Amino acid sequence: MSFWRYAAEDPSYMALVEPDGTEHKSGELLAASNRLVHGLRARGFQQGDVVATLLPNGAPIIELYLAAAQAGWYLTPINYHLTAPEVAYIVQDCGAKAFVADEAFAEVATAAAEEAAVSSSGRFAVGAVDGFRPYEDLKAGQPEEQPVDRASGGIMTYTAGTTGRPKGVRRPLMGVDPDTMGQMLYAWFQFLYGIAPRNDNVHLTVAPLYHTAVMNFTAIALAGGHTIVLMDRWTPEGTLERIERYRVTHSHMVPTMFVRMLQLPDDVKTKYDLSSLTHVIHSAAPCPIDVKRSMLEWWGPVIYEYYAATEGGGTLVTPEQWLQKPGTVGPPWPNSEIRVLDDEGQPCSPGQSGTVWIKMGDYTFEYHRDKEKTEETWKDGFFTVGDIGYLDQDGWLFLNDRKADVIISGGVNIYPAETESALFGHPAVADAAVIGVPDDEWGERVHAVIEPRQGYTGGDDLAAEIAEYLKGRLAGYKIPREIEFVESLPRDPNGKLSRSKLREKYWAGRDRAI
């Protein structure tokens, strides 16, 4: 089955609840996605074309996903915290034929569309944005009937490239009809987690849909005929309230959310009925062992963890398995293989840390317009995202570091090269390095170490000036929380930076691999 078949057979079931509580029956979503396919085809859309979005969680991004998924298009959801130049880069790089933005991000959307040279006929807005046509125009006057020549589409999200620029992870389209693809996706999900289609299941989407895992889990729940409950601005108590109100059965979260919810007063934590939960699935960042133990004690054996990245995965550990081996991310998926190799490409012995390599059957992907990075990522049918870990005697994976340099703050990947590139634009910066330092709430926070140019003196005034300079050039979460000044950075004769030396004093005695 698939969303389209479930909705055709039963157009009255509740398919979507928006953050403001607006409810949508499955038949409404089906009709809207069909109209979008007809409307965009009338504007020249063909298989393989790309729709880029700058949208909050809500019905429009779900409708656009369902349209792309049955018309053979790619959907590229963009992080709405990015600045106009950052958005423009992605819109242009992905080759978007249409750009759909929300009026809440009007200023950024307008500037990005101009910089990316998006055709005036390809700009659409939810609400009012100067120079953008109304999003509803795409659906107006179009038939509700299922379009012909349907083909499964895909999601192309962006991750870091070798230069710090984001790179689109582009998977080949499968060439099968969308109903078959939906059935395949859900069958695999059901096999891994045991969550049945329909069966009054309700999925709570707690984070923005521009995140790869968030969109994927939401899409899979749609394919299973589940009700989707969207949150916009996540809050700890708001999560508990929605679980009780909508009888949520499953969700995808990150460890920072666990930390925030555990910090709620006891009377708030016991106020809500959470007994409907069967699966709370997490990844994106290492979860402290004590935090996970506390969550299992509170919510019971419903917390599952997997290892994956935007590029793919992976492993899975059930609550019972994790309690046997605290800290593990589990054994490989049934169709996956995990290798851990040393710097010479040789297999590491059990307990020996090295680079983690993954194989998922015949699965493949490429970094859009980055052949070099694609080739570096693949070896003998295995790919790596640079994570460091080890396998135990049973072949279960333990992670030391979720990439050597990437900062993971609240489950969000922050790429040092991108922030460093912006820092070098300031006249006072002779050299710069960005690292993650420990943060009890977020896991890590962004910390910059700067060598000032001659004639400049490091101190609070210069730090404030540099931080102000970065505003408008980088999204807020990428801007360093602290700026430290040093006489010189630790570089070898070839100019290679030793980040481990910078991190030593911050991570001494902590769990992070230096």
Q: What is the pLDDT of residues 419-440, one digit of tens each?
A: 887 898 899 998 889 999 999 8
Quick one: pLDDT band at residue 300, thresholds 50, 70, 90?
very high
Same domain, 158 and 195: no
In percent, the amount of the chain with pLDDT more than 90 equals: 71
pLDDT, residue 512, reads 57
Alpha-carbon Rg for the chain in angstroms: 23
What CATH number is given to the structural domain containing 413? 3.30.300.30
* 309 in any annotated domain: no
Same domain, 190 and 210: yes
pLDDT, residue 455, reads 92
Q: What global pTM score does this model have?
A: 0.82
| Cα dihedral 98, 102, 108, 113 in deg (nearest 10) | 20
* 11 in any annotated domain: no
pLDDT, residue 493, reads 46
Same domain, 464 and 356: no
For residue 92, which phi and psi values (nearest 5 degrees)? -75, -45
Q: Is the peptide bond before 58 cis (omega within 30 degrees of 0)?
A: no
Domain that holds residue 281: 183-300
The rounded distance, in Å, linking the Cα atoms of 43 and 37 is 10
- Which residue from 444, 454, 508, 512 is spatially nearest to 482, judged by alpha carbons? 444
The rounded distance, in Å, linking the Cα atoms of 340 and 347 is 6
The rounded distance, in Å, linking the Cα atoms of 339 and 383 is 10
Same domain, 219 and 339: no
- Which residue from 154, 137, 151 is spatially nearest to 36, judged by alpha carbons? 137
Same domain, 416 and 393: no
And the tokens for 105? 């991000």
Same domain, 199 and 131: no
Please name the residues in contact with 206: beta carbons below 8 A apart, sequence gap of 6 or more: 214, 231, 234, 239, 251, 252, 253, 257
Same domain, 399 and 413: no
Paired residues of 101 in beta bridges:
54, 125
The rounded distance, in Å, linking the Cα atoms of 143 and 271 is 47
* 16 in any annotated domain: no
| Cα dihedral 177, 181, 183, 184 in deg (nearest 10) | 140
Over residues 286-310, mean pLDDT: 89
pLDDT, residue 162, reads 41
pLDDT, residue 454, reads 86
pLDDT at 330 over 60: yes
Over residues 48-56, mean pLDDT: 98
Paired residues of 355 in beta bridges:
341, 388
pLDDT at 405 over 90: no
pLDDT, residue 56, reads 97
Q: What is the pLDDT of residues 267-291, one digit of tens each?
A: 999 999 999 999 999 986 667 777 8
Quick one: pLDDT band at residue 214, thresholds 50, 70, 90?
very high
* 477 in any annotated domain: yes
- Looking at residue 234, its amino acid is W
Q: What is the pLDDT of residues 231-254, one digit of tens each?
A: 998 999 999 999 999 999 999 998
* 512 in any annotated domain: no
pLDDT, residue 495, reads 52
- Exposed/middle/buried for 510, CB within 10 Å: 0-12, 13-18, 19+? exposed
* 305 in any annotated domain: no
Q: What is the pLDDT of residues 159-212, one digit of tens each?
A: 854 446 888 999 999 889 999 999 998 999 999 999 999 989 999 999 999 999
Same domain, 73 and 95: yes
pLDDT at 494 over 60: no
Among the listed ranges 12-26, 125-139, 244-258, which one has the minimum average pLDDT value?
244-258
Over residues 333-360, mean pLDDT: 92
Residue 200 · residue 396 · CB < 8 Å: no
What CATH number is given to the structural domain containing 107? 3.40.50.12780
Same domain, 351 and 228: no
Q: What is residue 318's DSSP assignment?
A: -
pLDDT at 511 over 70: no
Residue 327 · residue 289 · CB < 8 Å: yes
Boundary residue ending a domain (107, 134, 166): 166
Same domain, 370 and 382: yes
Residue 314 · residue 308 · CB < 8 Å: yes
Same domain, 216 and 228: yes
Q: What is the pLDDT of residues 112-132, one digit of tens each?
A: 999 999 999 999 999 999 999
Over residues 485-499, mean pLDDT: 75
Same domain, 130 and 32: yes
Boundary residue ending a domain (125, 140, 166): 166
What CATH number is given to the structural domain containing 204? 3.40.50.980
Boundary residue ending a domain (384, 404, 424): 404
Quote the number of domains for the chain.
4
**Torsion sign over Cα 166, 90, 178, 19:** positive
pLDDT, residue 284, reads 63
* 313 in any annotated domain: no
- Which residue from 449, 23, 377, 436 is spatially nearest to 167, judged by alpha carbons? 377
